[in-house]
Structure 1
């Protein structure tokens, strides 16, 4: 892992939503998707302020305030979903995705969960497999050439599970 300098992972502010949406779009260019490729997905890629306000969304911020990446959890049908995990295109391959993943595992545990689901871009599927998530299905999308890879990550039995407290949802750690 070649992360240099100081950084922190903190809860996202709703007014950062538009910037996170732009970072998500830039991240997708890493895989060669042309601009507008995901138009078929409709609002699935939108990140409105309300999304950041009601879901656990965390940003990885470099000293000086640059957001290097982020992740977000959502709930659906009683399941916890890692709905988004994106690293800015020029920062991919530097270990930041792994930092966000580890923090997401910690957050899931603090939320009292024993596992969570990831619906992955086909290009990111090897990352989730390397992180220990287990692929259990694929799902077609409105775009026939693009299939979601469904993963489940089970938290280690040694992770101390308990219900999270609202005061804990604003993790703000600085690492040097």
Structure 2
């Protein structure tokens, strides 16, 4: 396994990983379609933001991306692995690479909007919940989390 910078040609594969990973949590096909814009990774997105792939030999099996904010902060925008790799340590592998990368870039804080099903994953790593917001699904709330570095 290795992590490498994404190329704009990876956008279709990263979109596929995002949608399959999101569907893993039991969301209907209709819901995934309703979220199509939010779950699509474009060439432009890859060009403008740091995006890193998790590669198993030659196959991309996961990725993360982040947004550079003001005041030495970043927002973890995406962290997804294919469903068959969930629960096997690959999310932690990606997260460790991400945290090491942003520490080396001298960032002081990370924020993220967590998939509700992933909140415990982020808490185990050291993120704390600082708020939440209701999503397009009634009574479904996205935790807002942060970690000071």
Q: CA deviation at 1:40?
A: 4.2
The 3 A distance-change label for structure 1 pair 12 and 23 is same
The residue aligned with 2:86 is 92
Does 2:24 match 1:30? yes
Bigger fraction of residues in helix: 2
Which residue does 1:120 correspond to in 2? 114
Report the CA distance between 1:55 and its aligned residue.
0.6
Unaligned runs of 5+ in 1: 1-6, 156-176
Change (3 A) 1:127 1:82: same
Which one has the largest radius of gyration?
1
Q: CA deviation at 1:76?
A: 4.7
| TM-score w.r.t. length of structure 1 | 0.78
Using structure 2 for the length normalisation, give the TM-score: 0.92
Distance 1:139 1:120 in 2: 10
Q: Name the SS of the counterpart of 1:68 in structure 2.
A: strand
Runs of 4+ in 1 over 6 A off after TM superposition: none
Contact in 2 for aligned 1:70/1:87 (Cα 8 Å): yes
Asked if structure 1 preserves the Cα contact closer than 8 Å seen for 2:23 and 2:32, the reply is no
* Partner SS, residue 153 of structure 1: strand
